[in-house]
Every structure is written in C-alpha cells, then in structure tokens.
Amino acid sequence: MSTISVFDMTGRQVSETELSDSVFGITPNEAVMHDMVVNYLANQRQGTQSTLTRTEVSGGGRKPWRQKGTGHARQGSIRAPQWYHGGVALGPKPRSYSYTLNKKVRRLAMKSALSTKVLDNNMIVLDSLSLENYKTKTIVEMLKALGVEGKALIVTAEADNMVIKSAANIQGVKTAAVNTLNVYDILNYDKFIVVKNAVGKIEEVYA
C-alpha cells in the first residue's frame, strides 16, 4: 500500500493515510477511460433534435403543374426536399444516444482514473470538511491554503448541502458525493480533493 499526506482546511499536513493499491495504484488503462468518457458524454445527450419531413411541413397538397407539356421537370408537390421550404430528407429525429458498458469495464475505468490522479500528484486528501454556515469564502480560502489552481473536484462521503451551496459560485469548482462520482469528472478536473472518510468509502466500493 502507498501512503499519502492528509491535510486540514488550513493547508497544514496533519497525518498520513494508506491507499489501496487495487484502487489507487493500478496501471491506468487509457483505452478503457476513453470508452467511459465517450459513454458518459453520449448518455448526457438529450437527443431531442428534430426536422420536418415532406409529410409534416405545411402546404403542397396540389400538384404544382401538369405532368407533361410545360417544359419543367415533373413535380408532385412543392414540399418535396428539393423545393425551398420543402421537407428535409433523412434528417434527424428524436432518439436516445445512451448505451451501457460492461460492469467490469466501468470499474476498471474508475480505478484507472483514480490511479491517474495519484500518479500525477493531483490527489489531495482532507482530514475533514465541515462548515458552520453557508460561506463561499471558506471554500475559497481552503483551496488557496491547499495551493489549488485551476479546476478542482471536491468529493465528500455523503452529499453535504452546505458544502455544495458554498462551492456552487466558485468558477471551476465542482462537488460530488462518492455515489455520484464518475470518470469524466475525475479526468476533467485538475485537482481531485477528497475527504478522508470518502477515501475509505471509495475503497469499499471498488476494492
């Protein structure tokens, strides 16, 4: 098992904790992480785009001119796709883009993402994260004390409404509970800040 420093909210190192090598110490599989990110983004798509076909646009009930003798190409409706204001041929219709990946693939992708943060020294473990009131300034000062620059993902063991609302207005900062953690967010944010009790919960789930 590897060890990692544990800090308090003032940025002072207070102890060390061991990380499970089966979760935080594997060799990252980039292909699997890529598959998981593509899957996540596909599942976020609403799929509500829609175009009107020639049967749905208004007009076109009458044949524009007779079949023969006009010198024009034969036409049956002014709402055929080649006409201005005509229907769209083979256009998109509402559909679901979501699909699922194998459970083993999802677990490997998550462990690969977590291990990547440890390898890159972008994981910070907090002794505790407790707020007495809704205060954005407290979170800002904590991030500054920890030397965090850029985007940061703060992970708690359970959903903490006070932490969520206090960090909501900070640009580039997102909060998540262990049960809502996903590979996309871990890789998308520069720093992975996780409370010590959340580390144990992650190991329980993925070890």
Cβ proximity of 117 and 192 under 8 Å: yes
> Looking at residue 90, what is its pLDDT?
94
Residues facing 194 on adjacent strands: 125, 155
Decide if domain 2-43+100-206 falls under CATH 3.40.1370.10: yes
> Looking at residue 131, what is its pLDDT?
87
> Looking at residue 132, what is its pLDDT?
84
Cβ proximity of 9 and 129 under 8 Å: yes
Domain boundaries, the chain: 2-43+100-206, 51-91
Residues facing 177 on adjacent strands: 156
> Looking at residue 50, what is its pLDDT?
96
Going by C-alpha positions, the residue among 42, 33, 45, 48 that lies closest to residue 99 is 42
Residues facing 81 on adjacent strands: none
> Looking at residue 103, what is its pLDDT?
94
Mean pLDDT by 10-residue block, N- to C-terminus, for the chain (207 residues)?
Answer: 89 91 93 96 96 92 94 94 95 95 95 95 92 91 92 93 92 94 95 93 89
- What backbone phi and psi angles, to 5 degrees, belong to 109? -65, -40
- What backbone phi and psi angles, to 5 degrees, belong to 104? -65, -35
- What backbone phi and psi angles, to 5 degrees, belong to 77? -160, 145
> Looking at residue 185, what is its pLDDT?
95
Write out the E strands in 102-151: 123-126
Residues facing 17 on adjacent strands: 4
Q: Using CA atoms, how far apart are residues 102 and 14, in angstroms rounded to an integer?
A: 40
Strand 13-19 to strand 123-126: parallel, antiparallel, or no bridges (unpaired)? unpaired
| pTM, 2 dp | 0.82
Q: Using CA atoms, how far apart are residues 172 and 151, in angstroms rounded to an integer?
A: 4
126: its two tokens: 């907090």
